[in-house]
């Protein structure tokens, strides 16, 4: 009797095992279509880089006047004058002080800032790549250095959008990298908002086109890891760039606060340079005073004037700085519970609109921002 029972149990176990195997085969998940997770930050605190060509590198910041294309008799004349001035300043940079490895111009050396509606501003933009970047590439090749400049840009893939982009020309004269502006500062004006399109404004479409790794890109060069940004007063943006391995943060500005540059460099343990343009003192704006700052917050170089053009220069001991360096130690784990519950006032993708619905003016942009704000009572945009 016991033998029969034992044999019965064994038979049932065999049947159960066979059924499990068959069921496992039937329910296998096809993982071939699952995309691997993109590694944006190294878990051990290191970061990707390429070997350095030399131990120290020279940054030159080009503090120059700004002339809007809208103020010239024609766009062609405006671009020619502004380009010629960039070439003149580059020649000066090569003939004064040490040879530059990075030559940083400000946000608008070519196009200047133009007022008006979206359709009125679009002609005063450039294309990247285009004849302007080809010509600036010749400067980079002749000077054997990286040349960085900001501009308003139009792009056929983003019809009617005005993009704020910093372009890096390599030593070979070719475009090494373009950096979209991450996001615009908001609520700085009472009657309007900035209308340019940033990554934040079209984030999902941007990510689909270029990949998540291009939201905070870092260019690994033989002179160090660089990133370029026009963002101001935004510690999270620069912390993200630091986590991605930025060693030299190059910034372009339309006016700026020195304290912002100093604190950002200090808190993120990287070198930083800010290129500003000049304006006559009679305008009432605090322009000029471009700076280069060390990772300990020390100002390494600063232009003394708010209205005079000139060049700011500093040498960076990139090899000794890089040695045994890891990314900064942030209190992210501790603060995560707060961050996870925070909702920013303006949702991302707010400019992912049909071109006919893009705000035409700063005032219309404010209406859009007010209408989608999570902090204000809903306001209906009327354009």
pLDDT digits (tens, 9 = 90+) for 67-97: 999 999 999 999 999 999 999 999 999 999 9
Q: Which whole number is the average pLDDT over 106-110?
A: 97
Q: Does residue 16 carry a pLDDT above 50?
A: no
Provide the pLDDT for residue 226. 98
Asked if 113 and 147 touch (Cβ cutoff 8 Å), the reply is: no
Average pLDDT of the residues of the chain: 92
**CA-CA distance, 246 to 327, in Å (whole number)?**
9
Nearest to 125 by CA among 157, 89, 150, 142: 150
Provide the pLDDT for residue 185. 93
HEC states along the chain?
A: CHHHHHHHHHHHHHHHHHHHHHHHHHCCCCCCCCCCCCCCCCCCCCCCCCCCCCCCEEEEEEECECCCHHHCCCHHHHHHHHHHHHHHHHHHHHHCCCCCCEEECCCCCCCCCCCCCHHHHHHHCECCCCHHHHHHHHHHHHHCCEEEEEEEEEECCEEEEEEEEEEEECCCCCEEEEEECCCCCCCCCCCCCCCCECCHHHHHHHHHHHCHHHCCCCEEECCEEEEEECCCCCHHHHHHHHHCCCCEEEEECCCCCHHHHHHHHHHHCCEEEEECCECCHHHCCCCCCCEEECCCCCEEEECCCCCCCEEEEEEECHHHHHCCCCCCCCCHHHHHHHHHHCCCCCCCCCCCCCHHHCCCCHHHHHHHHHHHCCCCCCCCCCC
Q: Which whole number is the average pLDDT over 210-234?
A: 97
Q: Does residue 14 carry a pLDDT above 60?
A: no
Can you give the residue ranges of every domain in the chain?
A: 57-327, 337-372
pLDDT digits (tens, 9 = 90+) for 162-218: 999 999 999 999 999 999 999 999 999 999 999 999 999 999 999 999 999 999 999
Q: Which of 32-41, 156-165, 226-235, 356-365 has the lowest mean pLDDT?
A: 32-41
The band of 281, judged by pLDDT with boundaries at 50, 70 and 90, is confident
Q: Does residue 349 carry a pLDDT above 70?
A: yes
Q: Which whole number is the average pLDDT over 291-301?
A: 98
The band of 37, judged by pLDDT with boundaries at 50, 70 and 90, is confident
CATH number 3.60.110.10 given to 57-327: yes
pLDDT: is 29 or 166 the higher one? Answer: 166
Provide the pLDDT for residue 312. 97
The band of 363, judged by pLDDT with boundaries at 50, 70 and 90, is very high
The band of 286, judged by pLDDT with boundaries at 50, 70 and 90, is confident
Provide the pLDDT for residue 31. 57
Provide the pLDDT for residue 381. 53
pTM: 0.89
Provide the pLDDT for residue 13. 47
């Amino acid at each position: 009797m016991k033998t029969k029972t034992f044999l019965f149990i064994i038979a049932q176990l065999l049947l159960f095992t066979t059924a499990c195997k068959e069921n496992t085969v039937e329910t296998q998940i096809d993982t071939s279509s699952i995309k691997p997770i993109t590694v944006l930050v190294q878990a051990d605190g290191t970061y990707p880089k390429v070997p350095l060509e030399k131990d120290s590198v020279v940054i030159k910041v080009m503090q120059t006047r700004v002339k809007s294309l809208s103020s010239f008799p024609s766009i062609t004349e405006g671009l020619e004058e502004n380009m010629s001035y960039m070439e003149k300043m580059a020649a000066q940079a090569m003939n004064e002080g040490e040879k530059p490895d990075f030559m940083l111009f400000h946000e608008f050396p070519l196009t200047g800032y133009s007022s008006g509606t979206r359709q009125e501003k679009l002609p005063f933009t450039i294309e990247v790549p285009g004849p302007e970047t080809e010509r600036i590439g010749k400067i980079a090749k002749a000077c054997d250095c990286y040349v960085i400049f900001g501009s308003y840009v139009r792009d056929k893939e983003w019809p009617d959008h005005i993009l704020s982009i910093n372009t890096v020309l390599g030593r070979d004269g070719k475009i090494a990298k373009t950096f979209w502006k991450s996001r615009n500062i908001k609520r700085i004006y009472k009657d309007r908002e900035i209308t340019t399109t940033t990554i934040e404004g079209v984030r999902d479409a941007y990510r689909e086109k270029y990949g998540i790794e291009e939201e905070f890109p870092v260019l690994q060069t033989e002179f160090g890891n660089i990133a370029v940004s026009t963002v101001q007063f935004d510690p999270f943006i620069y912390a993200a760039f630091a986590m991605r391995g930025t060693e030299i943060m190059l910034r372009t500005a339309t006016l700026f606060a020195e304290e912002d540059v100093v604190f950002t460099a200090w808190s993120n343990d990287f070198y930083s340079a800010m290129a500003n343009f000049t304006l006559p003192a009679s305008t009432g704006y605090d322009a000029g005073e471009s700076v280069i700052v060390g990772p300990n917050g020390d100002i390494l170089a600063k232009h003394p004037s708010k209205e005079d053009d000139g060049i700011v220069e500093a040498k960076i001991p990139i090899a000794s700085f890089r040695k045994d360096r890891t990314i900064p130690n942030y209190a992210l784990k501790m603060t995560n519970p707060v961050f996870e519950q925070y909702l920013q006032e303006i949702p991302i993708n707010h400019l992912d609109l049909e071109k006919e619905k893009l705000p035409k003016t700063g005032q219309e942009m404010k209406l859009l921002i007010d209408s989608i704000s999570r902090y204000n009572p809903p306001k209906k945009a009327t354009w």
